[in-house]
Amino acid sequence: MSGASDFRRFREAVDHVLGVRDRNLIKLLYLTASRPSEICTRTTPSELRLRATKPYGTSMRYELAKYKNEIILLIVVALVKRRGSLPSHKVIALPYDARFEPWTSDLVKRMRKNKKLEFDLTRVTVNKIIKENLSSLLGREIRAKDLRQLRLEHLANLYDFDPYDLAAIAGLNLRKNLILIDKPLKKTEPLTRLALDRYLSKLFKPLAELYS
């Protein structure tokens, strides 16, 4: 599902999901190419006992900022820690103008109404919500990891993202694309800002053009 028609079908399916919370959950996971535990603030007792994961969503940060003459939404997502690695974040930038990304304004509305973007859910619940809502609409089983993969495919095929850009969005373990936890959002590493500058301009492509 990476062509213009499939891209449109996917977005229309998401917009038809019943329930504002569930729609925003799917939009946040997709736009940030995140894993469920990276946007959740809860975990199950068994996961805690087995140390399978933790609620990384408690570290999420966000703010509206200016990029040249445009307003953008900056989202800092704590990455699932690989064994032996340092905790780190990725920074996601999204156009606020609805011509380029109408879903950003939905996330901002959630920020303003609930004073947060993260969700008080477990990753098990997140996977259940996605499967129940999108599988029937798209005619095949959709899981949380599929949203991450779809986002990367859409960026590569429709927005001309190269491997470096995709690494920044996915939060792959490339030092130049990551920032350490607790560093102020406005004082991210210069190379992180370079990664944002490099891909952000590619996102200013009218959605109507991508549908055609």
SS (H, E, C) 18-62: CCHHHHHHHHHHHHHCCCHHHHECCCCHHHHHHCCCCCHHHHCEE
pLDDT confidence of residue 183? 42
Q: How many domains does the chain have?
A: 1
Residue 210 lies inside a defined structural domain of this protein: no
The mean per-residue pLDDT over the stretch 52-75 comes to 87
Residue with tokens 């304004």: 105
Query: Residue 63 sits in a domain of what CATH number?
Result: 1.10.443
Domain contains 212 = no
pTM value is 0.87
pLDDT in tens, 119-164: 999 988 999 999 999 988 888 899 999 999 999 999 999 999 998 8
Domain that holds residue 132: 4-205
Instruction: Name the percent of the chain lying above pLDDT 90.
Output: 58
Q: Assess if residue 39 is contained within a domain.
A: yes
Asked, for residue 16, whether it belongs to a domain, the answer is: yes
What would the pLDDT profile of 66-90 be if each residue is shown by its tens digit?
888 999 999 999 887 655 555 688 8
- Is 172 inside a domain boundary? yes
78-to-8, 36, 158, 210 alpha-carbon distances in Å: 29, 11, 27, 30
